[in-house]
Amino acid sequence: MAEKPGAGPLLDDLLLYRLSRLLAVGGSPVIRLCEGRFGITRREWRVLATLAEHGGDGLGSSQLAEVAQLDRARTSRAIGSLAAKGLISRSQPGGDRRQVMLRLTDAGRAIHDQLFPLVQEINSQLMSVLTPQAARQFDESLARLQAQAEALLPAAADLPKADRRRRAASGV
C-alpha cells in the first residue's frame, strides 16, 4: 500500500476499493461472455451457478439469496428473468404458494455447462501470476477476510440503510 509523502492514506490503500477495481477489470470478460454470448446478466449467472452447485434437489428463493449472498429483491428479479428465459423452473411443493423451489432447466444446465469452463479459464489466467504457494496463501487470506467480513455484519446493522431517493433529492 502506498502513501504520498506528506499525505494521508490513499484510495489505493483501501482493500475494498482495490478488490472492486480487480473485479471491474478481471470480471469484464466474464460480463462480456454472459451478456454477449449467453444473453444473461452477471447476477443471473451467479444465480445459475449457485443453483448448479447447490441445487440438485432445488433451492428456495430465500435460501438461494443467502447462498449467493444477494439481496432478496435482486434475487427475485434475476429469478423472474431466468424463468422467463426458460433457464430455471419454479415449483411449489405441496401447493404451498409461499414456498418456491428453483431448479435449472435443461437449457439452464446447458448454459452453465458451456459458460463455467470459460469463467474457470479466466480465473486460471488471473491466478497464473501467482506461484502455487502464493495461490494457497491468497486463498487462505481470502477465507480469513471473508470470515472477518461476516463477523462485522452485525455492527453494520446499526448503520442507516441506503436511500437513493434521499440523495437525489438533496443534490448530493
Confidence of residue 155 (pLDDT cuts 50, 70, 90): confident
Residue 170 has pLDDT above 60, yes or no: no
What pTM value is reported for the model? 0.80
Which residue from 88, 56, 91, 62 is spatially nearest to 75, judged by alpha carbons? 62
Only one residue has cell 448448479, namely 52
Residue 66 has pLDDT above 90, yes or no: no
- All residues at 6 or more sequence positions from 55 whose CB lies less than 8 Å from its CB, including other chains: 64, 102, 103, 104
Query: Which secondary-structure segment (H or E) carries 55?
Result: none
Who wins on pLDDT, 26 or 167?
26
Query: Which architecture does CATH list for 28-153?
Result: Orthogonal Bundle (1.10)
Residue 143 has pLDDT above 90, yes or no: yes
Residue 123 has pLDDT above 60, yes or no: yes
89-115 mean pLDDT: 86
- All residues at 6 or more sequence positions from 46 whose CB lies less than 8 Å from its CB, including other chains: 68, 70, 78
Per-domain residue ranges for the chain?
28-153
Separation CA 149–CA 57 (nearest Å): 30
DSSP 94: G
162-169 mean pLDDT: 65
Separation CA 111–CA 15 (nearest Å): 33
Confidence of residue 70 (pLDDT cuts 50, 70, 90): confident
Which residue from 42, 70, 52 is spatially nearest to 107, judged by alpha carbons? 52
Confidence of residue 109 (pLDDT cuts 50, 70, 90): very high
Residue 163 has pLDDT above 70, yes or no: yes
102 contacts 59 by C-beta, under 8 angstroms: yes
